[in-house]
Amino acid sequence: MELGWEALEDARVVPSKVGGSRLGTFVGVNADDYAQLLTRHAEALGAHHTMPGIQRGIIANRLSAFLGASGPSLTIDSAQSSSLVALHLACESLRSGESELAIACGVNLHLMPESVQLAASLGGLSPDGRCYTFDARANGYVVGEGGGAVVLKRLSAALDDGDRVLCLVRGSATNNDGGGETLTSPTVGSQVDVVTRACEHAGLSPAAVRYVELHGPGTPVGDPVEAAALGEAIGRRRPVGRPLAVGSIKTNIGHLSGAGGIAGFIKTVLALKHRLLPASLNFETPNPRIPLDELNLRVQRTLGPWPGYPAPDEQLVAGVSSFGMGGSNCHVVLSDWRPEPAHERTGGRTGTDLPVVPWIVSGRSEEALRGQARRLAGFVEDAGDVDVVDVGWSLVSSRSSFGHRAAVVGTGRGELAEGLSGLAERGGGPGVVSGSVVDGAVGVVFSGQGAQRVGMGEGLSGFSVFAEALDEVLGVYDEVASGVAADVKLSDELREFFGVGDGYSGRLREVMSGGIDGLHGTGWAQPALFAFEVALWRLLGSWDVRPSVVAGHSLGELVAAYVAGVWSLRDAARVVLARGWLMHGLPTGEGVMVAVGLGWMRCVWVTVWSSRR
């Protein structure tokens, strides 16, 4: 469940918002150590939740239930190829429209010594504790534990949603050996077939493949068969002198059994993203049964560029193989993704950097909140130079919000990191505001005159929603200004002063930006505040802020009435202009305004009583 949650967050999908969606969960796993451990003590430990707790098929269902997803929910066991087959099925579900989003996972844990002993009795384990893939020393694999998860979506949907795309799954295929010399003996023909059909499904020539992440367990039987199959399916189809690069993650982290395929897939995705191939370890002398030159294969021994030193805009194509001990073979073809040039993209952050940046963290408890702050502080320290605005955006746009929350505010990386450390170690500090969610509705209060300032709205103009709303209000001002001036019998002097009939909104913009003095006069301040607050309301709405109640003080009452639907924008604009201009025309120094801390009935009583004295 942690892997699924974190994979969604990494994909910028808020986990708490996938409930009810056609999110498919496909989990590859082929061991049941936990179930066997509990079964031994069934009489003592048996309870209402025991049976669903030991069923492998429930693993995917549990993740679906945890997320509230209603798409396909399948646990796949095809032995060692389970997780790559799970990814293959997830892609097919997306292509058919059965799923709109999918998580493909694999997990493997060794909780019983007997499971490792059985692998040793089969003759599969390396007595050296090393995996020598394609090397003359190959004598078995090393067991490993771990898991991985990836989030998949159709490319068209990902582009529509503005998602970050790491690579493309171009095609995939599965088949079965059909019975070799023994049940567990692989065959060259079946592996050639699955690789070839995956390339056909991808619509790509096998010669286009530059790298293959091997199943590569480092066994005396399996390695030569896999090498021969790759040589026939891809290697010999590539140009002479440009061999197919191969490698195995099992030399790095061991054999994750049912999760081995997803581990190799993630490694290959990162190799495509960074356009570098990591080293396959423990290779010195080729296995004498693997003629690499004849097969046109090359083991990737060091971190380095892809074969052929491709140009930055040249497409990279790779394959990932995973084979089950019973003959369930799977091969996936990937390619890199080259997004649109930055200047052609829509959305995203524009404009100048923000003067102050908030980083929002949350947890289900105070301890969890401090733990999140500690993790984020560690990330900032390890990452070095980070874009603080991008981090802030990711925290609010791709994370679920829990009951205990904190906002760490700072002008740059140093202040934000200091605030995170204070939150993690002491529960607070300078620039940190924290608290917990309380029951009740959200309310918005709109301020009245006095909140205006020169430059108001300039920092928010980078948000298109805000800028468009401000333009709309100013445009309505221009439409109604002449009529309002006539209704309130505005003098010729004030008509000229406000630019009525001669671009009132343009002059108001100059006043708001400081180009023309006078923002504190009511004739400018009130229309400026109304326009700003309406635009700010629209911006909050675009972020799904939905208050249950709105109120306002003085001019803010007019804004509250508009956003509550009491009147139209045009009617509100007329009243705002009339109110501001009439107040502006009053004699200077005459009249007073008093703030009274009484209810309206007592105010009436005091007023009547005072008038009779």
Residue 609 lies in a domain: no
Confidence of residue 410 (pLDDT cuts 50, 70, 90): very high
Same structural domain for residues 327 and 359? no
Q: Which of 288, 309, 336 is the last residue of a domain?
A: 336
Residue 280 lies in a domain: yes
Q: Which of 439, 473, 500 is the last residue of a domain?
A: 439
Q: Which of 386, 421, 439 is the last residue of a domain?
A: 439
pTM: predicted TM-score of the whole model, two decimal places: 0.76
Confidence of residue 420 (pLDDT cuts 50, 70, 90): very high
Of 499 and 342, more confident: 499
Confidence of residue 350 (pLDDT cuts 50, 70, 90): very low
Is residue 545 within 8 Å of 454, Cβ to Cβ? Answer: no
Half-sphere exposure of 278 (CA within 13 A, CB side): 19
Same structural domain for residues 463 and 535? yes
Same structural domain for residues 394 and 463? no
Same structural domain for residues 475 and 562? yes
Q: Token pair of 543, please? A: 């972020």
Residue 243's φ and ψ, nearest 5 degrees, are: -65, 160
Tell me the Ramachandran region of residue 498: left when phi exceeds 0, alpha when psi lies from -120 to 50, beta otherwise: alpha
Give the range among 4-8, 106-110, 454-458, 576-580 with minimum mean pLDDT.
454-458
Residue 540 lies in a domain: yes
Is residue 52 within 8 Å of 35, Cβ to Cβ? Answer: no
* pLDDT given at position 94: 97
Same structural domain for residues 495 and 385? no
Of 252 and 585, more confident: 252
Q: Which residues contact 46 (CB under 8 A, 6 or more apart)?
A: none
Distance in angstroms (rounded) separating the CA atoms of residues 206 and 215:
18
Q: Indicate the residue type of 35.
A: A
Highest-confidence range of 266-275, 388-397, 474-483, 519-528, by mean pLDDT? 266-275
Residue 606 lies in a domain: no
Same structural domain for residues 228 and 241? yes
Distance in angstroms (rounded) separating the CA atoms of residues 44 and 385:
55
Same structural domain for residues 423 and 452? no
Residue 293 lies in a domain: yes
Supply the CATH number for residue 543's domain: 3.40.366.10
Same structural domain for residues 212 and 119? yes
Is residue 198 within 8 Å of 171, Cβ to Cβ? Answer: yes
Residue 603 lies in a domain: no
Is the Cα dihedral 77, 212, 317, 341 positive or negative? positive
Residue 422 lies in a domain: yes
Overall size of the chain counted in residues: 613
Q: Indicate the residue type of 413.
A: R
Same structural domain for residues 478 and 551? yes
pLDDT at 196 over 80: yes
Same structural domain for residues 160 and 243? yes
Supply the CATH number for residue 180's domain: 3.40.47.10
Find the mean pLDDT for residues 387-395. 91
Largest CA distance in the chain: 116
* pLDDT given at position 103: 98
What is the bridge-based pairing of β-strands 23-28 and 73-76? parallel
Residue 151's φ and ψ, nearest 5 degrees, are: -105, 130
Q: Token pair of 207, please? A: 């010669």
Residue 607 lies in a domain: no
Supply the CATH number for residue 371's domain: 3.30.70.3290
Same structural domain for residues 358 and 494? no
Is residue 139 within 8 Å of 130, Cβ to Cβ? Answer: no
User: pLDDT tens, 126-140?
Assistant: 999 999 999 999 999
* pLDDT given at position 343: 36
Distance in angstroms (rounded) separating the CA atoms of residues 149 and 105:
4
pLDDT at 120 over 50: yes
pLDDT at 292 over 60: yes
**Domains: count for the chain:** 3
> Which residues form the domain of 375?
350-439
Distance in angstroms (rounded) separating the CA atoms of residues 149 and 5:
9
Same structural domain for residues 392 and 454? no
Q: What is the DSSP string of 454-511?
A: TTTTTTTTTSHHHHHHHHHHHHHHHHHHHHHHHHTT--HHHHHHHTTTS-HHHHHHHH
